[in-house]
Amino acid sequence: MNTLANPATLGEERDRLAPDADVIVIGAGPAGMSAAVELASAGRNVIVLDLQPAPGGQIYRALEANLEARPSTDGLLVALGSTYNAGRTLIQKFRATPGIDYRPDTTVWDLRADGTVGWLKDEAAGYLRARHVVVANGAMERPAPFPGWTLPGVMTAGAVQTLIKAGRLKPEGRIVLAGTGPLIFLLADQLRRLGVRPALIARTDQLKDKFHALPHIRPAAIPALLKGLGWLSRLRLAGIPMRTGVSNLRARGVNRVESVSMTIAGRELELPCDLLVVHDGIVPSIDLAHCAGLALEWQQADASWRPKTSQDGQAQMAPGPSLTSGACRIHISGDARRIGGADAAIAHGRHAAKAILAELNRASAKPVTRAAGQTAIAVQRTMAGRPFIDVAFPPGLANQLPDDATIVCRCEEITAGSLRECIRGGAADMNLLRGLLRCGMGPCQGRSCAVTVARLLAEATTQTPTSPAPFRARPPLRPLPLGALANLTGLDPELAEVVSLDDKPQTAGGSADHA
């Protein structure tokens, strides 16, 4: 059901509602924390909504708790390395800055371009409003369906890091790391420091990719590249087996992964495995941006979407009907905008904050603009290594579309074969497929399957769309208890006005209205 309010009426109503803060920041990772500190230090009221129990995001997850638990966590902190421990200063500054209303364990389930944010904490939910919103909800690992990827014992690199940082656990048994990207090397080196020796690092990238990437090296990127070479050299010196050019990855087992097979240099290799750790790169988390009706750009090179923004993160509205009217009040920062890592996220968080301050206080536009120019240079410098990484570590596990037997939608256990059959039957767009098969209707709301479904649709047509659209977004983005829904606070009645029901599929030969 699409709930569209009258834009003119909604705009008038929205202007009568007093904002709860000057700025709402969504996410307390590097970008969110740095933006909040910059804004609050300038005297602005800032509310930070964070899904996690403590600030840090994925990169600095549980850093405070691990520092407080010393000396029992000294070995863990050493193993996680300088990249992890570098977040200490930022987190301390975030905690100490007056004017930041930090709200951990809070889920954002709705976002509107006019600065309206739906929140949920425990059994309470409601709406908050601000003059501007900074979306800094980070990135996600690229979903890469392959045979056996849903077996227990198959995990992503980010999930393993979460268990290490927040759970203070370390894996045991025969461990295989498979995929591509710097995170594979970082995790393998962290495991090595913890005394865990992977049985194999199976890389999908090849040496030729590095040669192709050489023209993209910039002087500002050299320190980051040297850090990566350090991880690689330590793994080599430790004698951890590593192979490149891996393809046709398969996890095998009955109730859990028991072995893994792959093709290397034209030969099939199968080895016992207790834990298969996969990683195929990182892409922006677009669910909040998409829910707000913001424009998305399709990246053909790595088959992913990213928000369409200006350099300072100012988002753009997608064409078509919208739930709100007026100017877009959303900036997107950090990895939610462009993948760049912690340093780039910190720099861009400050840059986005400077742009918002210029909007909030026109009287200080000149000094703010000059400072924004300085932060823009910092963003450019911290992003200097990205072009090299993108070419040196192209998508591998997700490079080929899955075979018919492979599950694409994990939530509803829908295979690629079922999707292809439905497409051949006339389902010509994402939303019709969702209505017919429930694909993308589970708890993840399409985060794990949307890209693969879009590529399967493109596979079936001779006229591949240059910019495929994801599933139509709608709140709630996360599960919302009925009790919380019934007792929403801060509710604008206009938000609940239903004026159309235009996205229910009629037949397998649905019309363009479903696009």
Domain that holds residue 431: 407-493
* Residue 331 domain flag: yes
- Dump pLDDT digits (tens) for 207-241: 999 999 999 999 988 988 899 899 999 999 999 99
Residues 152 and 257 in one domain: yes
**In 3-state terms, the chain is what percent helix, strand and coil (to 5)?**
40, 20, 40
Report yes or no on 498 lying in a domain: no
Q: What pLDDT was estimated at residue 511?
A: 41
Please give the average per-residue pLDDT across 107-128, as a whole number. 95
Record the tokens describing residue 96, joined without a space.
């100490």
- pLDDT for the residue 9: 46
pLDDT digits (tens, 9 = 90+) for 486-495: 999 987 766 5
- Whole-number pLDDT of residue 464: 52
> Does the pLDDT value for residue 86 go beyond 70?
yes
Residue 238 confidence (pLDDT)? 95
Number of domains in the chain: 3
Same domain, 123 and 147: no
Q: What is the separation of C-alpha 242 from the centre of its chain, rounded to a whole number of angstroms? A: 28
Same domain as 294, residue 250 = no
Find the CATH number of the domain harbouring 154: 3.50.50.60
What value does the mean pLDDT take over residues 169-178?
96
pLDDT of residue 303: 82
Q: What is the mean pLDDT of the chain?
A: 88
Average pLDDT over residues 307-322: 90
Give me the residues paired with residue 278 across strands: 156, 178
Give residue 4's pLDDT band: very low, low, confident or very high (50, 70, 90).
Answer: very low
Distance CA 287, CA 138 (A): 11
pLDDT in tens, 182-196: 999 999 999 999 999
Percent over 70 (pLDDT), the chain:
89
pLDDT digits (tens, 9 = 90+) for 38-50: 999 999 999 999 9
What is residue 325's predicted lDDT score, i.e. its pLDDT?
A: 73
Q: What is the DSSP letter of 402?
A: P
Q: Which of the four pLDDT bands, split at 50, 70 and 90, describes residue 369?
A: low
Q: Does 185 share its domain with 306?
A: no
Q: Are residues 84 and 191 in the same domain?
A: no
Residue type for position 315? A
- Interval 428-478: pLDDT, tens: 889 999 999 999 888 888 899 999 999 898 888 765 555 788 888 888 999
Q: Residue 185 contacts by C-beta under 8 Å, 6 or more apart in sequence?
A: 228, 231, 232, 235
Question: Same domain for 315 and 248?
Answer: no
Minimal CA–CA distance to 387: which of 439, 328, 344, 358? 344
